[in-house]
Amino acid sequence: MHTQKFRYMTKRLYIIALVLLCALCAHAETLLLRTGARVKGDILFQNEEVIIIRNAEGARFQYPRAEVQEILTADPAEEKAEQEEQKDEIGTSKKASIALELGGGAACIPNAAVGGGFSVDFLVGSHHIGQRHIFIGGGLGYHGMFIGAAKFNFLPIQVALRLPLIEQQHAPVFGMALGYGVALSKDYLGGLYASIDFGYRYQINEKTALAVVASAQFQQAKIAATEIINGNTFTNYTGRYLVSPELKLVLMF
């Protein structure tokens, strides 16, 4: 009886030791996708067509074999070094980033004249907030509008946001800006400046992204109107909004 009990206990201890040894020797696997992205976890199933992997949170993901460039197995030391490298990259990306925006399209004074316009904006900020590629910054621009026979030039001083709706390499992006447009002529005065953008963003690498957006820009202005009454000249300023729907190319680096 004691001999059987001893054998039973020895067998259980052997199984427990074997499980612990396997757990200590196991290495997390990483799928290197052809897009450059990496997915870490335990491979549950794989064949010539598909690979199923489970991440540390228990979520399962399925990838076509054609999208997987390589399967990597790293030891704990390599994984720790990679984590430190990723932290360094995130820390670097939190430093100042630049957004250069070029746009062109139509321009109008609502219920009045229609024309065209262009814009150039130079913004400085951060391209990495938390774990997402969110750009928040501020800067200066140069906007020109040709409406009817008049020409309006402004220097918008603004704060801007560029927010990808999903954190993937290809993603829709939403943007907005708010500031003050400084007029460059005595024929009109500047005022509130605002813009709303929506488009497509491609994340080239950790620090660089390219976006194409449709933008609606609003510039408040007071336009001078001169009248001659009884030989006397009077100048009055009429408050109007200048509206410019544009297509913009945005480069963040």
- Domain harbouring 164, CATH code: 2.40.160.20
Looking at the structure, do residues 108 and 145 belong to the same domain, yes or no? yes
Tell whether the model's pLDDT for residue 95 goes beyond 80: no
Picking from 244, 218, 238, the residue whose alpha carbon sits closest to that of residue 226 is: 238
Chain-centroid distance of CA 49 in Å reads 33
Is position 187 within any domain? yes
103 three-class SS: strand
Looking at the structure, do residues 37 and 145 belong to the same domain, yes or no? no
Looking at the structure, do residues 130 and 26 belong to the same domain, yes or no? no
Under a CB-based contact definition with an 8 Å cutoff, are residues 166 and 204 in contact?
A: no
Q: In which domain, by residue range, is 218 found? A: 97-252
Instruction: Tell me what pLDDT residue 76 has.
Output: 54
Tell whether the model's pLDDT for residue 91 goes beyond 70: no
Q: Encode pLDDT of 139-185 as tens digits.
A: 999 999 999 888 999 999 999 999 999 988 899 999 999 999 999 98
> Residue 66's domain is classified under what CATH number?
2.30.30.100
The total domain count for the chain is: 2
Rounded CA separation 236/223 (Å): 8
- Give the pLDDT mean for 104-118: 92
Is position 81 within any domain? no
pTM above 0.85, yes or no: no
Q: Encode pLDDT of 32-78 as tens digits.
A: 888 888 888 888 888 888 999 888 777 888 899 888 988 887 555 55
In three-state form (DSSP H/G/I as H, E/B as E, the rest C), the secondary structure along 54-86 is ECCCCCEEEEEHHHEEEEEECCHHHHHHHHHHH
